[in-house]
Structure 1
Amino acid sequence: MAGHGRGPTVTLHLSRTSRPCTSQCAPFGNGGHLRWQSEPGVRATGSWTTGDGSLNAPPESMETMLGYHERVRGRWSWPELGGWVFGFANDAAESGQAATAPPAAVVFTLLQPTAPSDATNGSVMLWRRGRLLRHFPRRSLQVAVQGLLDRDRVVLVPPLAGMLGTPPAAPVPRRLLITGICGQDRVRLDFHARTAARIANPSETTLRPFSVHEVLGDCRVEAVVSGRSLAFEAGAVVEFAGGAR
């Protein structure tokens, strides 16, 4: 991938280490639905240049990075889809072993369509060594937020969106806490946001833009499944999406 002109550029090789979860589906609105399938532990290696204007700037090697892949299908439009909170974290304790799945990984999804009132859906899924260990459905989840991320830490992209009268969006929470309990099994995700990029998207049915905030931060994951404890801390990516007001 490369930007126009002199950069930036990035060359990536992606490889899978984990098995995806079972596909999930959320119906909403008048015949709309969203189907997704999550797969953590995607490893990326390659090189990048910053695009600082130098034509002969040598590329810098990239250490093995842990990412995520999601297959999304369905029939939906904005603003009917409403919004969502989504995120993932991979335990990077063994990131130097390129062919090995992370010791643990977690993915959470919370969909918030505008209608009907009971269309909210979501899940928390926990992987161990590349295999899905536990699925916590929406009815087993509690979600809480605390504080707001300073707007100076949120960058609007693309930059020209600021010249088009893009209305402000709801602020990003500074802390997100998700707890899942199924019988004796439990999981807790404690995410602290550091910075965010707001991507302004057009809406198919209104003049209001639809915004997706890509948020970077740190996450503490603690879980007990079948009597066995699991815990790790790692960098995480969270998406907060919703209509501008």
Structure 2
Amino acid sequence: MSELKFKRVLLKLSGEALAPQEGSGIDPHAANEIALHVKSVVEMGADLAIVIGGGNLWRGKIGIEVGMDQATADYMGMLATVMNSLVLMDALEHIGVTTRVQTAIQMQSVAEPYIRRRALRHIEKGRVVIFAGGTGNPYFTTDTAAALRAVEMHADILIKATKVDGIYDSDPRKNPAAKKFDTIRYIDALSMQLEVMDSTAISLCMDNKMPVLVLNLWENESLKKALSGEKVGTLVIP
């Protein structure tokens, strides 16, 4: 078992991580691939909790643009995160990783309600916990939910998994000369409007000194390398 620099980790995934190559929806093969990445770090001895978005199924801003009430649109997004969480739980259980889904919106037929102390006990027993339903409140993103759960679970780090290998001063897909940061301060990420996470999430991490690592989950076992202390992605620090 490798020595871990970060023992307890909150992994933030976008809903798009579960989407097919083309279009929206859920691709079970994508869920299986993510599950294998998760299993690899669980086998290293990491305590892992996950927050996943719902953008592959529903984006609240689409409803808002056509006149939908924002709270209603946001609640629909929360329900989408529950569907994604169940898919990922099933993929993890199929490869032998004991997993629990807790949701901030009570639906006892499909998932446990979010209870902080129960979630901590699950993690201490080596189970992966997936937090669904965002914060349970409209007007907050799943980035903010991830920051909140990371603080509540006493995580050593919040890892935001993307399909880009870190934070750049501009979009590297549009600007070949974009500069990548190895480290950046919270306040600089906010002032430069780098869209690492929304401002509420970054502020919550900053207030609680929660480091944030942005990396490409699908690149060269980056998650395992990050937990072992190798330089991967971009670290957001005080």
- Place the TM-score, normalised by the shorter chain, in its bin: under 0.3
Higher Cα radius of gyration: 1
Bigger relative contact order, structure 1 or 2, given CA contacts below 8 A and separation 6+?
A: 2
Normalized against structure 1, the TM-score is what? Answer: 0.27
Higher helix content, 1 or 2: 2
TM-score by length of 2: 0.27
